[in-house]
Homo-oligomer: A and B are copies of this chain.
Amino acid sequence: MPYTYEYPRPALTVDCVIFGLEESSKLKVLLIQRAHDPFMGQWALPGGFVDMEEGLEEAALRELEEETGVRDVFIEQLYTFGDTERDPRGRVVSVAYFALVNLEKHPVNADSDAKRVEWFQIDQLPRLAFDHEKILQVAIARLRAKVRYQPIGFELLPEQFTLSQLQKLYETILGVEELNKRNFRTRILKMGVLREMGKQEGVAHRPAMLYSFDKEKYEQLARDKYEDLIRRGVDFEI
């Protein structure tokens, strides 16, 4: 049944994949337990319908806060999922967003719209509602691909940190035991967003160099909105 501008129209939702990290823990994702049908009682990504007068990102942030209490996160658009069979209620297209946060800085709110809200380790997930398992897998892949060409971790590390701490963070995100130390150092320094801050003090044996993020350069690289896509397009250096 085709339409022009008139009804019927697909319904439009947003979904949020919020990844959380805390020290010496595995990568986690924020899930809600659904309070209503369809999939009542099942775990799902936070999300909901887009209001008529709000932007897509705005809708995603509103739903995230309503359902989980989590706010002030920098989200990026991930992908739009529009398979005709993805929602038992009918045709629903969903624009997915994702973010990576320090979960200790983003407490969840038990008084939210959802029945329960919890952080789950991504290797210990419950069964998810709708096609949310697929959305989550795409987000995990995107996050891991992203660290290949963009630095991450600004919010997730102390002000000054060693390359070993940063490497540990990458290993957690990538879900790998141990990255090659030399390759990691070469590649991460080449991104040009770390500033040397001097050697560790009070360390008896072989103190390590401390680094901090060059906030300005880091933020320029870390944003992935279309304005920045344009900027990134220009500085190609093959």
List A residues at the B interface (Cβ < 8 Å).
1-5, 7-12, 49-56, 77, 79-80, 82-84, 89-93, 95, 134, 137-138, 140-145, 147-149, 170, 174, 176, 179-180, 183-184, 187-188, 226, 229-234, 236-238
Contact = CB atoms under 8 A, between A and B. Distances in A.
B141 A3 contact: no
Contact of A148 (B55, B95, B149): B149
Given A3-B49, A226-B138, A55 B84 contact: yes
A214 to B, nearest CB: 19
The 4 closest A-B pairs by CB, nearest first: A141-B233, A56-B82, A144-B233, A141-B229
A232 to B, nearest CB: 5
Contact of A52 (B52, B91, B95, B145): B91
A163 B231 CA distance: 27
Contacts of A174: 236, 238
A63 to B, nearest CB: 11
B233 A142 contact: yes
Contacts of A80: 56, 77, 80, 95
A176 B145 CA distance: 27
Contacts of A82: 50, 55-56, 95
A1 B93 contact: no
A59 to B, nearest CB: 8
Given A5-B11, A141-B229, 16 more contacts: A2-B52, A10-B50, A12-B93, A55-B84, A56-B80, A56-B93, A79-B226, A80-B80, A93-B95, A138-B226, A140-B233, A144-B233, A145-B233, A147-B238, A174-B238, A187-B238
A230 to B, nearest CB: 4
Given A12-B93, A229-B138, A232-B141, A149 B147 contact: no
A234 B141 CA distance: 7
